[in-house]
Structure 1
Amino acid sequence: MDAAMFSIGNSSSASDNETVVIASNEDLYSYAERVVAAVICSIICIFGSIGNSLVIIAVLLSRKLHTPPNVFVVSLATADLLTSLFLIWDVVALLSSDGWPLPNAKWLCTMTSFVIFVCIGTSLSNLAAISLNRYILITKPYRTYQRIYSPVNIGLMVIFTWICPNLLSLLLSLTKIVGFGYNRKYFICCHFGQQPEDELLFILSDVLLIFIVLVVVVLSYIFVLKHVRQHFKGKRRREVQGIVMQASTSGNDTERQDRQRSTTAENSISQPDPSGQPIRRRENYKDLQVTKNLLLVVVVFFVCFLPYSFLIIFPRSDSFHLYAILLALMNSCVNPVIYARRHPHFKIVLSAMIKCQYQNIPEPTGIAKRFFSRGINPIL
């Protein structure tokens, strides 16, 4: 980041410095570009607000969705919903011709930048929690999974995913490493480095968290993939052994053949895999399908955020910075589309909600039954 940007967060900056910053803004982005950015922000705001609200309501309406990973999905949707709602103030900032257009309500811009920063950190924490959840579910005995993901522990984990980003944001703000408010360089409400000497710490505050979560996610899914491959290799080997045994006893009576086939099928489910972990019935197609879809959510998040992470490292990339921010914010409205198209459980519930066919919602909750009995549309 150049010195002009850092002068924004310094309350002692002279007016001539601010004039230089505004002039550099006009060279950096034209008003037409900012109008396009405002339109994109408006689309993210509308679709993100509607989509994430539907995800949260879906969990409230169906007990089928009351699973440990979906607790983190709801937490993630809540963070995306808040991001989408507060983006309206970025639209206001982008359309302003000279500075923040509401001088008596600067706190709105400060709160917007703070909330979005916290919600992005919360999203990262929830993605890490989702990845660890899938790792433990797939690779560990089910009793271990139940012990770790008890209702109390899940509640503490969700609280942790929200408290840590809030504490980090407050720490960075109180130490004046990062400021929150209107950024004259990009015409949006966002966080920025307060002083040039804190440039390295400012970059680390953005990049380090993303890198740490990326490592956790990658390792978790690598171990899941390794475990699944070992399981299916062992299953294929047992099937081949069963076929050989069946061929060698082809002269026996029908009852013995049936007993052999039953034993082979039973072994293919209950025998331990090469890693020594028991293969549970719970590791069926839907478990793996859910895991793949949640992996897709993680991949989309990092595809959206990695360009931003790379660009803030290179000070001369300012002309692309606003577009990288928009790509990162776009992630807030993508996840509901993934759930609606690919998640085996969310797909059914969201489809029934959108079509107003509430009788098709599987395992409706008490809240859903009360709404339906009164003829109330819970979406409205």
Structure 2
Amino acid sequence: MNVATTVSVNNSANESVDPENIIPRIALSGWLGIVGVVGFFGNLLIVSVVVIYPKLRTITNVYVTSLAMADMMTCLTIPFTIVGVVSTTGWPLSDAACVLVAVVSFVCTGSSVWHLAIIGFNRMVLITMTSSRYRKIFSKSHVLIFLLVTWFIPLSVILVPYLGGFTRLGYSDGPHTCSDIEENEDGSENLIHTYLQATFLTCFPLALVLFFYFHIFIFIRKHERNKNTWKTNSLTRESVPPSFWQKLAADTAGTSQSMTPIGSNDAAVPGASSVKETAQTLSTSGNNKVHPTAATKNNSRNSLEYKITKNAFYVVLGFLLCVIPYGICILGGYGPGGTPLALAFLLFNSCLNPLIYGTKHPQFRSSLGKLCRGRFTGPLFTSHAVGPVDH
């Protein structure tokens, strides 16, 4: 009996080992390890510079910091994912630990998408609306509410169906990871979590992101057209001597007076008032010039805001470049058998954001350079109409 039991246990252990799939799984684990290390320390730098440099504590960077913390937590779950991927005997730890890893992974990944939506909404309000309107929408209480929403929605999507008994979380034998289990205990298929995740953690927030940045693009394009038109008209006015406009104003005023009956006003003659005002405005337009220093400051601030918005859109593009291959691998079942190849693309987004902020974002690039050189003080550019959020 003991010999038979021993042989049976050895055979089941040998059957659980899959020599054909263990090599690609080890290679995938190596890639995930690199992503985890780079992503954790990269996002740690993003959080550190916001803490060290007070002028980086803008309202937009509140959500950037929260996004970095979500990516850091995702990177902390990667070692447990590696354990499940390379294990040849199933999940070696407790079931509760596997459920916890699955919850943290889904919440942090879904929260990242909602952070992108809130950042896009913040940039749209800042660029397309007035400063007073911006401060009213993103007041202290509203900033906190928006921040809680980015975490509450993915947490609810995961926990409510699980605690209600509608979905199952644990170790999935197919991809060898802690995730949702798409089968009920009776063997029937259960795709409730898949539909909820696809709707509320992917499609809906991404649709909002694309809408916000499309609105920003339309506004900036219209603004540039108006600015070019104003420049063209300004050059046309400057090419004519100011004396011409003054003479035109005097002639127009005299003509209107001669055509107007005694005791009447300019409104009695249609167009007389508008012609006079136009001529007077044109006569003084050459003398009323914007102060060069103020104009330079406004241009630099607007340029800074455009660069920050462009960088935020780069983060969105980076996420799309990661989530699209992830969806293709999931739907098509691509990759070696038993290898969660889709995770190689999805988790890469956790280390991609620090690379984008460190190379493209004007404020973070400057502050990271100062941090690497050991300079913890010094002036930095402040985002226009945002200011520190110490209030």
Q: Which of the five TM-score ranges fits, normalised by the shorter chain?
A: 0.7 to 0.9
CA contact (8 A) 1:177 1:193 kept: no
- In the other structure, the counterpart of 1:41 is 32
Larger deviation: 117-126 or 106-115?
106-115
Q: Does 1:214 align with 2:206?
A: yes
Task: Describe the shift of the 1:146–1:119 C-alpha distance in structure 2 as closer, same or farther (beyond 3 A).
Answer: same
CA contact (8 A) 2:120 2:213 kept: yes
Q: Does 1:185 align with 2:174?
A: yes
Task: Describe the shift of the 1:262–1:153 C-alpha distance in structure 2 as closer, same or farther (beyond 3 A).
Answer: farther
Q: What amino acid is aligned across from residue 150 of structure 1 in structure 2?
A: S
- In the other structure, the counterpart of 1:78 is 69
User: In the TM superposition, what whole-angstrom CA distance separates every residue of 1:140-165 from its partner, at most 9, and x where no partner exists?
Assistant: 12211110001111011111111121
- In the other structure, the counterpart of 2:389 is none
- In the other structure, the counterpart of 2:98 is 109
Shift of 1:363: 8.7
Q: What amino acid is aligned across from residue 354 of structure 1 in structure 2?
A: C
Pick from 230, 233, 236: which aligns with 2:225? 233
Pick from 18, 22, 31: which aligns with 1:31? 22
- In the other structure, the counterpart of 1:59 is 50
**Partners of 2:214 and 2:301 in 1: how far apart?**
17
Pick from 356, 379, 389: which aligns with 1:338? 356
User: In the TM superposition, what whole-angstrom CA distance separates every residue of 1:43-63 from its partner, at most 9, and x where no partner exists?
Assistant: 111111101111111111112
Q: Does 1:150 align with 2:139?
A: yes
Taking every aligned residue pair, what percent have the same amino acid on both sides? 26
**What does 1:1-380 correspond to in 2, within 5 Å?**
26=18, 30-102=21-93, 105-195=94-184, 198-209=189-200, 210-249=202-241, 260=285, 263=288, 265=290, 284-314=302-332, 316-317=333-334, 319=336, 322-360=340-378, 362=380
User: In the TM superposition, what whole-angstrom CA distance separates every residue of 1:303-361 from its partner, at most 9, and x where no partner exists?
Assistant: 111222344345x5474871112210111111111111010111111122223232457
Q: Aligned with 1:248: secondary structure?
A: coil
Task: Describe the shift of the 1:198–1:134 C-alpha distance in structure 2 as closer, same or farther (beyond 3 A).
Answer: farther
**Partners of 1:362 and 1:261 in 2: how far apart?**
36
CA contact (8 A) 2:117 2:205 kept: yes
Q: Aligned with 2:347: secondary structure?
A: helix
**Partners of 1:115 and 1:317 in 2: how far apart?**
25
CA contact (8 A) 2:106 2:158 kept: yes
CA contact (8 A) 1:183 1:190 kept: yes
TM-score, normalisation: structure 2: 0.75
CA contact (8 A) 2:363 2:381 kept: no
- In the other structure, the counterpart of 1:274 is none
> Over aligned residues, Cα RMSD in angstroms?
3.0
Task: Describe the shift of the 1:47–1:261 C-alpha distance in structure 2 as closer, same or farther (beyond 3 A).
Answer: farther
Shift of 1:123: 0.7
**Partners of 1:125 and 1:199 in 2: how far apart?**
25
Residue-pair matches, total: 326
**Partners of 1:222 and 1:49 in 2: how far apart?**
31
CA contact (8 A) 2:18 2:88 kept: no
**Partners of 1:261 and 1:197 in 2: how far apart?**
79
Q: Aligned with 1:186: secondary structure?
A: coil
Larger deviation: 219-228 or 174-183?
174-183
TM-score, normalisation: structure 1: 0.78
**Partners of 2:142 and 2:116 in 1: how far apart?**
17
**Partners of 1:198 and 1:140 in 2: how far apart?**
49
Task: Describe the shift of the 1:214–1:262 C-alpha distance in structure 2 as closer, same or farther (beyond 3 A).
Answer: farther
Gaps of 5+ in 2: 1-11, 246-281, 383-391
Shift of 1:239: 0.7
**Partners of 1:261 and 1:303 in 2: how far apart?**
51
**Partners of 2:286 and 2:52 in 1: how far apart?**
42
Q: Aligned with 2:220: secondary structure?
A: helix
Task: Describe the shift of the 1:49–1:91 C-alpha distance in structure 2 as closer, same or farther (beyond 3 A).
Answer: same
**Partners of 2:241 and 2:115 in 1: how far apart?**
54
CA contact (8 A) 2:120 2:209 kept: yes
The structure that has the greater radius of gyration is 2
Gaps of 5+ in 1: 1-18, 271-279, 365-380
Q: What amino acid is aligned across from residue 219 of structure 1 in structure 2?
A: F
CA contact (8 A) 2:21 2:336 kept: no
**Partners of 1:214 and 1:65 in 2: how far apart?**
26
CA contact (8 A) 1:349 1:361 kept: no
**Partners of 1:244 and 1:334 in 2: how far apart?**
48
CA contact (8 A) 1:178 1:202 kept: yes
User: In the TM superposition, what whole-angstrom CA distance separates every residue of 1:7-64 from its partner, at most 9, and x where no partner exists?
Assistant: xxxxxxxxxxxx8xx87x949x611111111111111111111011111111111122
- In the other structure, the counterpart of 1:5 is none
**Partners of 1:142 and 1:233 in 2: how far apart?**
22
Q: What amino acid is aligned across from residue 351 of structure 2 in structure 1?
A: C
